[in-house]
Structure 1
């Protein structure tokens, strides 16, 4: 595969998202010493520079067909990018701490196409499991919802006894004729008719008494 070095260099310093960056120590291919380099990971491309802010990378490692392993025989906190097959090179890197080494190893192991493909397959499997799982029965969308209870401004509350239930006042037109009943008491139509009709009949009978004096044949109306 041919690689356009100019395009790679431009991509390395472009404003594209960076997955991870920082200093690592890299073992040379000819000079076996570990040299400090600034690494930038973008996708499956691991660029390394002589120092941070350089305009052009020293090299790039394409993280495909490789594994990320500990390099126990090398420096402390060292690991390697090991490419499989004959005549393939292994890159030895070292971090400054155990935590940094673990973070870099995890980031590099997740950067390859094979890992991405595996993750997509796993996510697809989980999605299929969710779609096959029946949803719980919920309340129908069109089912009626009871309205909230509103305060009745005509309820009287005895403040001297906070545990006493409120009472409803049903007026018949006069204060003297008010009937106080429990709020849960059921009232028939006949009772309502009697309560509201009594003051009217009382006035009517008074008028009838006056008429009776003038006309003895007039009868009084009563219940």
Structure 2
């Protein structure tokens, strides 16, 4: 943005202001004090002849200067804005409170002052962070390691249990003439058992009916218990939870 008189006048008369009020200003040629209305915006101190004037009489750039109180002036509550090698502005307030207020805000208006303040605040912040880290380190010398996240196995990756008699049914023949494979295999096995016993001991006495029934019952019981064991195993597997936590 270009700086010209028009832009500067708009900036000087547009609120908000950092500080404002009436002061008595001593002239450069005429050493008498004249009452002016001062407005501070940033590091620019504008002064007007009257409070609601549209254009300022002048502007003082409050940068690289010294603000000091004057006690040798005839006017009371005087202070000065001193520029090294340049003009010195002498101002007078109406009371002690106004003079101290103006001196304070003018001292803090310069860029150099703000830079020093920011550097000091950053130093204090670094000290606070450092002391906080040391305090936390003393309170927790051995931090407890965090537990690993809990994992769950996918129940659908487990193969489905076989039916209780699937293995046995695969080995048994299909029903013939209305009889199941178990009956046919049983009858055939009984015949085979009888034949084998007769062939193995032709010279011995043939087994009695009760003994033959006992052997057949034992053979049938073995077949039934195999099916029972398979059924129990499938039932226990089905009773287990699908998802183990």
**Same fold, judged at TM 0.5 (above):** yes
CA RMSD after TM alignment: 2.0
What does 1:55-70 correspond to in 2, within 5 Å? 55-70=54-69
Distance 2:98 2:77 in 1: 8
Specify the SS of the correspondent of 2:123. Answer: helix
Residue 79 (structure 2) aligns with: 79
Question: When the two structures are aligned, how many residues end up with a matched partner?
Answer: 136
Q: After superposition, what is the alpha-carbon deviation per residue over 1:119-167, rounded to whole angstroms, capped at 9, x for unaligned?
A: 00111011111110125559x9xxxxxxxxxxxxxxxxxxxxxxxxxxx
Which structure is richer in relative contact order (CA contacts within 8 A, separation 6 or more)? 2
Tell me the TM-score normalised to structure 2 length: 0.52
User: Does 2:135 correspond to 1:98?
Assistant: no
The structure whose Rg is larger is 2
Distance 2:125 2:4 in 1: 39
Displacement, 1:5? 2.6
Q: Larger strand proportion, structure 1 or 2?
A: 1
Could you tell me which of 129, 132, 136 is aligned with 2:130?
132
Residue 117 (structure 2) aligns with: 119
Distance 2:7 2:65 in 1: 23
For structure 1, the 5+ residue unaligned runs are 141-223
Q: After superposition, what is the alpha-carbon deviation per residue over 1:88-127, rounded to whole angstroms, capped at 9, x for unaligned?
A: 0000000000111011000100000111011001110111
Tell me the TM-score normalised to structure 1 length: 0.57
The runs of at least 4 consecutive aligned structure 1 residues that moved more than 3 Å come to 135-138
Displacement, 1:22? 0.4
Distance 1:123 1:133 in 2: 15
Distance 2:45 2:89 in 1: 11
Distance 2:3 2:29 in 1: 23
User: Does 2:45 correspond to 1:37?
Assistant: no
Residue 5 (structure 1) aligns with: 5
Displacement, 1:3? 5.8
Residue 51 (structure 1) aligns with: 50
Specify the SS of the correspondent of 2:109. Answer: coil
For structure 2, the 5+ residue unaligned runs are 145-245
Residue 149 (structure 2) aligns with: none
